[in-house]
Structure 1
């Protein structure tokens, strides 16, 4: 192979460095970014010749942009590895942009950095391998064998300077001739820049790095005034609240919310279930939504940096006297469970639900909860808050999030290359994962209903939703302002044992009244503390669902 490369290289006529850089720039601009052009033309809403002129202008400007970049950074000594690096990064990012409609944002970079190897491997497929060979390996191979003339420094500087002046002039002229369309696009739809590979990786990566470059800050205590109002529960059993944080479940796929397919056969039979039909998330990715919902900050005021070094909901409940336990079956708690008890799932339970799978089935949470409750000493009368973090409907391997017993919708998409599946099969796979979640949640409620040591309560809400091909989008993580409802409209429901309802009938009635109201993760912090009879100045009445009625 090396001999063939060498023979081909000797037959090729050497080209100038400027021409070499222009070839790389043209490939980056024109071969990798067809989704960018598609979306840009959609937003421009032009037809006929006007559309063609605008498309040509976009391609020219982007090519010249990369050419100027290459002329500044690419020299005789580093030209090949600069080109290979850009081709590698651009080719890899372009696959996800073009095949799944994913925008490369700082949040997506954060998701990538916080993911584990199993989650990353789920994104790989034979389609990705084909793309990688054709759009990454082959271009890099061409770059390696392409001979480039060697110029002395002064002539090279002259050529670079002259070509940059010409490129700037041409780009400026193209923008001037299409100024209204360019201005409208990049002012009204700035997000399209996140579709331009590999520029999106570098710009978003830089934004993410700036966050990391901040010096670690000391932990800020929050809610120091928190106290458990024991007078409210005198002569009553202690409370046990189980909070289930779902993963990638969207409200529109729950039959409880009107979906045509019966994805909630078991929850539909649960007496006393309070289903909130208009709940929304704080973010479109776990790395944002989970810290946000536990922070005490509403979405519009959420400060990620502050949340990362300030106590949150679990710390406050713990300070008030609750035993806090986190049971994990996803990719981590994103820092919110760092200062509370983390239940170690026993090996025998893992063996049952985790073997031969990329992640454990959520049945591992159900049995871990049962095991944890069994281990609480009879003399331990502390109130309990248990958080279960699901794998839920985590994509793209939806077909692995359920079992044959809970996969009524067939045929399915049994690959991680979900963009290549028939839409009906993909939806079946996703819906089956919701059916399994329905089963697990109903069984958790069943465990709580049979517990006679505590007043028991249950709250479920997903961290965010999911796109399954609507408008060419897949997975999640879109910028919130642009995210479709599939990524932000989440399922949320509560249940309370008869004993809890008898002790707090006004609270339950108040919550029932809000089933069709706009609620969501912003309400978790104040409402959960209120349900737990925790008093603190950190509770915002306007977000506390228990404060929305005359006699909560």
Structure 2
């Protein structure tokens, strides 16, 4: 190999460390951040030549800032090591920023830390491969082949000092010249810094580990130790069985139940459900929303560190006397189900519904629920809470989230390189995944309808929404403060069996009156416990949807 590499290296003219640092600064600062510069150009108040002058100044500020940093940290002995790391981090980060409009934040880092190999495979595409080859591998090859001239320390240090001062003066001068413009833009668009690679990943990773990374070996904090049933199970009434479906990446605006023009809910629309049209999520990513919705903390007070080592909704229900079971067709429960039963889906169902790469259609949850219910002894009177975690509309491979029988909208985007599809194709693929979810939810309700051993209830809500190109954004995970409604406005609906409705008629009527009220994930914890007849001081009544329903229950 050296016989091939060395002749090539010898043909490349050696460069100084200062030249190496400048080239690296230009590549990282100017080449990789074109989406950031496009955003800056769209926000500038100028027109014509002055707008281009402002854009050029912005490019120079970023390049000069990187060049200044490199004067401090890069020397001949470590320059290639640091450069290689920055090229890899910056190259891959820039792909998601430039291609998918993703803003890198601590929340995105948290989402990445909790992803799995299946989700990573879902991001692979020809576009990603080409980006990797030309914007990651080729620069790495250049770094490996280029030779840095040996220099005497004192002249080299002097040159680095001069370059650093010039870079600093350039940054300071341009920021001073356009201070009012930069201050106005970044004050109103604080997320912009999350578009500058690779500093966005480095800063967000440091912030994540400083503030959000779960601390190890923290003692478990008991929560809701006073939990009890206010209506003990008796032979007079059948026990309750609630199925809670945690959806994935479904947004409310794509549900025809909420007024969407395309009929994405052909089956649910025929059922006697309560549809809530104005519900918001706790976060914009599963890693945040799922722990938050089960924590008992409202979004404004949510502390992910506390949630990671404190009991939550499922523990409280279990303590009150419910048999709690989690059935997963996603990437896990993010710690919320660690202390309850986690149902192992039978292999024959995996063979029926799962692809070779491990992804399973959500109808596996329907069959799993059937199998689970069939295994309950006829004499078992234990009330039950079953949580089903969907694959839902998880992107970017939306076309893989529905079977052929539930793909009415054509043409579709049959690729995970969604930024290369037309808006119509992409929306059709996403909408098909909603149609499939509609079928799955309807099928689950049909299973509960036929159950004669329990009073059955059903509650569905998504963990967060999804962007499909609106405002130049794709997927999800944007910082909540600036996230579009597509990522935070989620669908939610309930269904109750005739027996449940008869025994709790005032509650059902009260819930129906709240169909258009502003609700959120904050309401799940106290409202679900209320529906399960659980009493606990942990239930925040301001978020209890049943607070208005204090009429005495029908005996």
Q: Which moved more, 1:493-502 or 1:349-358?
A: 349-358
1:44/1:184 contact within 8 Å kept: no
CA distance in 2, matches of 1:549, 1:39: 49
Shift of 1:471: 1.5
Shift of 1:520: 2.1
Question: 1:434 matched to which residue of 2?
Answer: 434
CA distance in 1, matches of 2:126, 2:88: 18
Q: How does 1:121-520 map to 2 (within 5 A)?
A: 121-210=121-210, 211-212=212-213, 214-230=215-231, 235-270=236-271, 272-520=272-520
1:21/1:70 contact within 8 Å kept: yes
Shift of 1:65: 1.0
1:264/1:438 contact within 8 Å kept: yes
Aligned residues: 551
Indicate how the Cα distance of structure 1 residues 234 and 213 shifts in structure 2: closer, same or farther if over 3 A, else same.
closer
SS in 1 for 2:385: strand
Query: Which ranges in structure 1 are unaligned for 5 or more consecutive residues?
Result: none
1:357/1:400 contact within 8 Å kept: no
Indicate how the Cα distance of structure 1 residues 213 and 515 shifts in structure 2: closer, same or farther if over 3 A, else same.
closer
1:280-330 deviations in whole A, cap 9, x for unaligned? 100000000000000011111111111111110000000000000000000
CA distance in 2, matches of 1:96, 1:457: 41
CA distance in 2, matches of 1:258, 1:12: 63
Question: 2:60 matched to which residue of 1?
Answer: 60
CA distance in 2, matches of 1:489, 1:2: 57
Q: Which moved more, 1:5-14 or 1:147-156?
A: 5-14
Shift of 1:185: 2.3
- RMSD between aligned alpha carbons? 1.6
CA distance in 1, matches of 2:213, 2:108: 15
Shift of 1:232: 8.9
CA distance in 2, matches of 1:76, 1:283: 45
1:350-385 deviations in whole A, cap 9, x for unaligned? 111014354111111111111111111112101000
Shift of 1:35: 0.9
Shift of 1:236: 1.2
Q: Which moved more, 1:468-477 or 1:43-52?
A: 43-52
CA distance in 2, matches of 1:304, 1:130: 37
Shift of 1:3: 5.2
Indicate how the Cα distance of structure 1 residues 342 and 119 shifts in structure 2: closer, same or farther if over 3 A, else same.
same
CA distance in 2, matches of 1:396, 1:536: 41
Residue 79 (structure 2) pairs with residue 105 (structure 1): no
1:176-221 deviations in whole A, cap 9, x for unaligned? 1001012122222221010001111111111122233745321100
Q: Which moved more, 1:223-232 or 1:534-543?
A: 223-232
Indicate how the Cα distance of structure 1 residues 550 and 456 shifts in structure 2: closer, same or farther if over 3 A, else same.
closer
CA distance in 2, matches of 1:224, 1:234: 26
2:118/2:357 contact within 8 Å kept: no
1:104-135 deviations in whole A, cap 9, x for unaligned? 11111111111111110111111111111111
CA distance in 2, matches of 1:165, 1:548: 67
1:76-108 deviations in whole A, cap 9, x for unaligned? 111112112211211111011000000111111
CA distance in 2, matches of 1:309, 1:84: 38
CA distance in 1, matches of 2:235, 2:533: 12
Q: Which moved more, 1:249-258 or 1:40-49?
A: 40-49
1:397/1:415 contact within 8 Å kept: yes
Shift of 1:151: 0.9
Shift of 1:11: 3.1
Q: Which moved more, 1:11-20 or 1:52-61?
A: 11-20
CA distance in 2, matches of 1:213, 1:370: 36
1:452-490 deviations in whole A, cap 9, x for unaligned? 111110000000011111121111000011111111010
CA distance in 1, matches of 2:103, 2:178: 25
CA distance in 2, matches of 1:481, 1:548: 31
SS in 2 for 1:542: helix
CA distance in 1, matches of 2:332, 2:47: 48
CA distance in 2, matches of 1:411, 1:242: 35
Shift of 1:157: 1.5
2:292/2:304 contact within 8 Å kept: yes
1:54/1:181 contact within 8 Å kept: no
Shift of 1:46: 2.7
Shift of 1:10: 2.2
CA distance in 1, matches of 2:169, 2:435: 59
2:233/2:239 contact within 8 Å kept: no
CA distance in 2, matches of 1:14, 1:180: 42
SS in 1 for 2:245: strand
CA distance in 1, matches of 2:468, 2:337: 30
Shift of 1:41: 2.5
Shift of 1:263: 0.8
CA distance in 1, matches of 2:2, 2:475: 41
Shift of 1:2: 5.9
CA distance in 2, matches of 1:546, 1:47: 56
SS in 2 for 1:287: helix
